[in-house]
Amino acid sequence: MDSTYIDGYQLYDQFLIYLTQSKKFTFYIKTEVSFQTVRFELPTNEDIQRSFIGRRYPRVTSYAYTQSVPFDGVCHIYSLPYGFEYFVDLDNSFQGGLFKKVRLLKMNDRISFEHNFFDLISQDFPFLEFLYIDNNCPQKDIQHSSALIKFPYLTYLTLEYTHVDYVQLFLLKQNMYRPRLLNLSINYKSLITITNNFTIDPTYFNFDQLKSLDLDESFVRPENFHQYFPLL
């Protein structure tokens, strides 16, 4: 069976046309298409945006992309201003914008997330509380800017499925300001790497407020563990 992205034509002809009494239509739709089922060229992001012209839609934006390694094409379409508290599967093709309502963000990609991209995310999602990152690609530029990236409301952070570069970026005070972090999920190997087996000065890290630490394996706490995690 052939399949393609949901666009403005499909959304109008198969759904919106029947909402004759509706005065407001807020939506976020993500379409994933497997190359195994596609026998024609997928629409570009420009094609998707043109499909919303001339119909009774609110302001709409989209981004469609093809993975750099085989498997899927993905398309996000959503009305503006963005009206939901979550945004899932954000990657490097993200077009930017202001998402004041979003509290939970999931990021994943097969291409590395660089420092300036996280800086963009911190500005576009100013009230973010829950952040999940899935990316095993090392950063190309680990000489981070002297300007701090700020996530002032972040309370829950999952880095279990990331390269250690992202763990260093988020957990070293010199890189990141996140004063409300309470829950952290990472893998044990990354924790040992960034602390050099708990020998680096604990004041270099942002662990002071943590009340929960989830690791992928059990371990014996070193004697100085509480110097790093005073509330655990």
58 torsion bin: left (phi>0), alpha (psi -120 to 50), beta (else): beta
Q: Within 13 Å of residue 223, how many CA atoms lie on the same side as its CB?
A: 0
Structure tokens, 211 = 């009340």
Q: Which of 30, 113, 132 is nearest to 72 (CA)?
A: 30
Kind and range of the H or E run holding 61:
strand 59-66
Kind and range of the H or E run holding 115:
helix 115-124
What does the pLDDT read at residue 5?
86
Helix/strand/coil for 149:
strand
Q: Are 62 and 94 in contact (CB under 8 A)?
A: no
Could you give the CA distance from residue 148 to residue 65 in angstroms, rounded to a whole number?
A: 30
Helix (H), strand (E) counts: the chain: 6, 11
Structure tokens, 32 = 């994933």
pLDDT in tens, the chain (232 residues): 345 788 888 888 888 778 777 777 888 998 888 766 655 678 888 888 888 887 777 788 888 877 644 447 888 999 999 999 999 989 998 888 999 999 999 999 989 999 999 999 999 999 999 999 999 999 998 766 668 999 999 999 999 999 999 999 999 999 999 999 999 999 999 999 999 999 999 999 989 999 999 999 998 999 999 999 999 9
Could you give the CA distance from residue 166 to residue 173 in angstroms, rounded to a whole number?
A: 13
Could you give the CA distance from residue 74 to residue 95 in angstroms, rounded to a whole number?
A: 14
Kind and range of the H or E run holding 46:
helix 45-50
Could you give the CA distance from residue 4 to residue 11 in angstroms, rounded to a whole number?
A: 13
Chain-centroid distance, C-alpha 140: 18
Predicted TM-score (pTM) of the model is 0.89
Q: Which residue has the tokens 């069976």?
A: 1
DSSP 172: B
The contacts of residue 46 (CB under 8 Å, 6+ apart) are: none
